[in-house]
């Protein structure tokens, strides 16, 4: 068994998680609890999507994720 880190697979798992959060149905809740659930889902999506869009590399045993947060050019 190998312990090699497959960076492409790792990033794909984050993209898959972002997609799952975005398409997750709302549970039967209302009021403040519903607002908290929606807010948490937005944070979860944002976090998973950011990592899923990162460029990843391992250099000398250090994993570096590069995320370009600049707005797209027109």
pLDDT-derived band at 1 (thresholds 50, 70, 90) equals very low
From the list 10, 26, 16, the residue with the least C-alpha distance to 49 is 16
Q: Is 38 a member of any domain? A: yes
Asked if residue 51 belongs to a domain, the reply is yes
Q: Answer yes or no: is 73 within a domain.
A: no
Token reading at 74: 């027109």
Q: Is 74 a member of any domain? A: no
The residue with tokens 């944002």 is 46
Please check whether residue 72 lies inside any domain of the structure: no
* pLDDT at position 67: 95
Domain extent for 23: 7-66
Tens digit of each residue's pLDDT (9 = 90 or more) over 3-60: 688 999 999 999 999 999 999 998 898 999 999 999 999 999 999 999 999 999 999 9
pTM for the structure as a whole:
0.79
Angle between helices 31-52 and 7-22 in degrees, nearest 10 = 150
Structural domains counted in the chain: 1
- On whether residue 37 sits in a domain, the answer given is yes
């Amino acid at each position: 068994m190998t312990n090699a880190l497959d960076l492409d697979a790792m990033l794909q798992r984050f993209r898959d998680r972002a997609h799952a959060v975005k398409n997750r149905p709302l549970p039967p809740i209302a009021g403040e609890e519903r607002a908290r659930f929606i807010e948490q889902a937005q944070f979860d999506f944002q976090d998973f999507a950011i990592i899923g869009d990162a460029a990843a590399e391992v250099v000398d045993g250090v994993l570096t994720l590069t995320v370009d947060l600049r707005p797209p050019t027109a």
